[in-house]
Chain A
Amino acid sequence: MNRRASLGLAGLSALLVLLPAFAGNYLLSVATLFLYFAFAGQAWNIMMGFAGQLSLGHALYLGAGAYTAAGLYFHFGIGPWAGLWLAAALCAVLGAALGALAFRYGVAGVYFTLLTIACAEFARIGLDHFDWLGGSGGLFLKIAKRGDIDLANLRGPPAMFYYVILLLAAAAMALSAYLLRSRAGYYWQAIREDEDAAQALGIHTFRWKMFAVTLSAAMTGLAGVFSAFYYGNLFPEQVFGIHRSVEIILAPIIGGIGTIFGPILGAALLTALAEGASEIVAALGWEVPGVKQMIYGLVLLIVIVFLPQGIWPALARKLRVKK
């Protein structure tokens, strides 16, 4: 990273760390949403941007993580910091199973994508009928009492959640940066560009693809755990629905697949645009559902047609943050 980039990053980090000191609850909730998408987007980016496998069923891991941790808390009182380990492990296993089956049977490209969608949908409908975890009526977690900060059980004020997700997003960014420069990063990119050539150079493609899929799934599971406790309620349609999967992929695609900062920029842009649009619509007195999603769709369309690499690569060159 050159000096400009380092300074920029430092400035941004300072801003984010100090935000709760001067931001109201609304701005804080928007920032939390931004960081959530930044985190989940980075997790997805590992599978797509680094290893080149397009998953449109990542909601499966969001849901699995969310319901595991929430279920443990709801039925057994086990807090999220303990529950997240099981959630991440379960998601890793799910990701590994999907990956193993798909790669072993040669399910690639669009077929792999459809497989991921089918699995998420299957889980959604399954959980709709699974009453022990609330079924279609939903699962509700106890709300914190006003003013209490129960970090152990993640029950508390918005600022607490904000710092948790900030930590997660920062950790994800550090991990992604490290991986991209390591052997894993080189091998993943080689596999993404040309699997045959990668194999001929000694790369055990199956193993490395599995690594990407499993890691991506486990990290997404953590995002699920966070969202379960942040929102306090879970419905299969909300958690496993395909719109959730689509939501996760928007930020990295718009920002730039395969880059470190892309998903973060994409998340910031999307959150800002969506909230801005909602404000304008509300101010005009229109009570119109679908505006946010429409903006997402239009931005995605514009980006994929004119800037398929995402916004960050072009922007980085302009800002001279990259060499």
Chain B
Amino acid sequence: MNSLLQVERVAKSFRGLCAVAEVSFDILQGAIVALIGPNGAGKTTLFNMIAGALAPDSGAIWFDGARIDGLRPDQICARGIGRTFQIVKPFAGLSVLDNVVVGALQRAASVNDARRSAAAILDKVGLGAKRELPATALTLPDRKLLEIARALSTRPKLLLLDEALAGLRPAECDRLVALFRELHRSDGVTILLIEHVMRAVMALAQEMIVLHHGNILARGAPDRVVKEAAVLECYLGENVEL
């Protein structure tokens, strides 16, 4: 199996403050990997570098065999990486359907094709009935669904989910986890997610990477990683007995 994403010694500092310190990892095609760590660990910075919103100070990022570090976000999307934002960004003046059409136009030849494929995606995530509503009329869980549907409409090979489950109640959370599982199974989407909701991470991730102060602390299967002393220490502090 091939590495879909290869992050090679990537580093980023902001005015002298090191956010990401020479991080390297790779993600195999078809995997579901969770990126966890305390706040300020550098997770979103890493995401932003992969998605093209930021350029790394040093290092390289390879996707599907080609270098992508330093490319614009729209170029990276064209190559097959889709992302959601931590704070959802719906296009407020447009309807739910039109929001997804914008993304679908990336792969569709005509507006009509895009509308068809957008409608199909909305049905898949469960927003089909609400497609004519203005995006602003949606509740938070539905907005998250919209964000995901929009990212999916660009037919990504790799989906970057930035705290997609934050602020959701357990039932809504479970529903989304089931959706991700289904997408992974049916469309073969590789998923890299930043998440704090451990319930979801344990249920979903095949592999977990722990980031702390810009460095990778641990990597491996979720149930093993959560028991590692170093990981517990970074979350709970020293002198904790378990």
User: Contact residues of A with B, CB < 8 Å?
Assistant: 181-183, 186-187, 189-190, 192-194, 196-205, 258
The 4 closest A-B pairs by CB, nearest first: A202-B77, A202-B106, A197-B89, A193-B91
Stretch with Cβ within 8 A of A (4 or more), from B56-64, B93-101, B178-186: B93-101
Q: Are B102 and A194 in contact (CB under 8 A)?
A: no
The answer on a CB contact under 8 Å between B111 and A202 is no
Interface residues of B in 68-103 (CB under 8 A from A): 72-74, 77-78, 82-83, 85, 89-94, 98, 101-103
| Known contacts A190-B91, A203-B102, A258-B93: A197-B78 contact under CB 8 Å | no
- Contact status A189-B93, CB under 8 Å: yes
Measured between beta carbons, the chain A residues less than 8 angstroms from B190 are none
Given A197-B89, A200-B85, A258-B93; A186-B102 close (CB under 8 Å) = yes
Q: Contact: B103 with A202, CB < 8 Å?
A: yes
Specify which chain A residues have a CB less than 8 angstroms from the CB of B90 in the assembled complex: 194, 197
For residue B45, CB closer than 8 A to chain A, the reply is no
Q: Specify which chain B residues have a CB less than 8 angstroms from the CB of A181 in the assembled complex.
A: 111
B225 CB-CB contact with A under 8 Å: no
Q: Are A204 and B77 in contact (CB under 8 A)?
A: no
Instruction: State the CA gap A189–B51 with chains docked (Å).
Output: 22
Other-chain residue from B74, B111, B151 in contact with A203 (beta carbon distance below 8 A): B74
Complex partner residue of A190 from B72, B77, B78, B102, CB under 8 angstroms: B102
Q: Assuming A186-B101, A202-B103, is B89 touching A194 (CB within 8 A)? A: yes
Out of A182, A192, A199, A201, name the residue touching B72 (CB < 8 Å): A199
In the assembled complex, the CB of B160 is this many whole angstroms from the nearest CB of chain A, namely 9
- Bound state CA distance, A202 and B83, in angstroms? 11
Residues of B within 8 A of A190 (CB): 91, 94, 102
Q: How far is the CA of A286 from the CA of B105 in the complex (A)?
A: 59
Nearest CB of B to A92, in Å? 24
- Asked whether A200 lies within 8 Å of B51 as measured between CB atoms, the reply is yes
A305 to chain B, nearest CB (A): 20
Partner of B91, one of A182, A194, A258: A194
Tell me, rounded to whole Å, the shortest Cβ–Cβ distance linking B121 to chain A.
13
Determine the chain B residues whose CB is within 8 A of the CB of A194 once the complex forms: 89-92
Is B6 interfacial (CB-CB < 8 Å)? no
By a CB distance below 8 angstroms, the chain A residues around B43 are none
B94 touches A205 (CB 8 A): no
- CB of B74 within 8 A of CB of A204, answer yes
Tell me the bound Cα distance from A198 to B93 in angstroms. Answer: 13
Q: Are B94 and A193 in contact (CB under 8 A)?
A: yes
Contacts of A187 in B (CB 8 A): 102, 105
Q: How far is the CA of A189 from the CA of B134 in the complex (A)?
A: 14
Can you identify 14 A-B contacts, CB atoms within 8 angstroms?
A183-B105, A186-B105, A193-B93, A194-B90, A196-B73, A199-B74, A200-B51, A200-B53, A201-B150, A202-B74, A202-B77, A202-B103, A204-B74, A205-B74
Residue in A closest to B102 when the chains form the complex, CB atoms: A190
Point out the residues of chain A lying under 8 angstroms from B72, CB to CB.
199, 204
Contact A200 B94 (CB under 8 A): no
A181: min CB distance to chain B, Å: 7
Q: Which chain A positions have C-beta within 8 A of B77?
A: 199-202
Query: What per-residue 1/0 map shows which CB atoms of B119-162 lie under 8 Å from chain A?
Result: 00000000000000000000000000000001101100000000
Residue of A nearest to B109 (CB): A183
Contacts of B98 in A (CB 8 A): 186, 189
Interface pair A182/B74, CB less than 8 Å apart: no
**By the criterion CB–CB under 8 Å, are B91 and A196 in contact?**
no
Partner pick for A196 among B53, B92, B111, CB 8 A cutoff:
B53
In whole angstroms, what is the CA distance A194 to B106 when docked?
Answer: 17
Q: Are A201 and B85 in contact (CB under 8 A)?
A: no
Chain A minimum-CB-distance residue to B110:
A183
- Cβ contact within 8 Å between B73 and A199: yes
Whether the pair B93, A202 counts as a contact (CB closer than 8 A) is no
CA distance A198 to B94 in the complex (A): 13
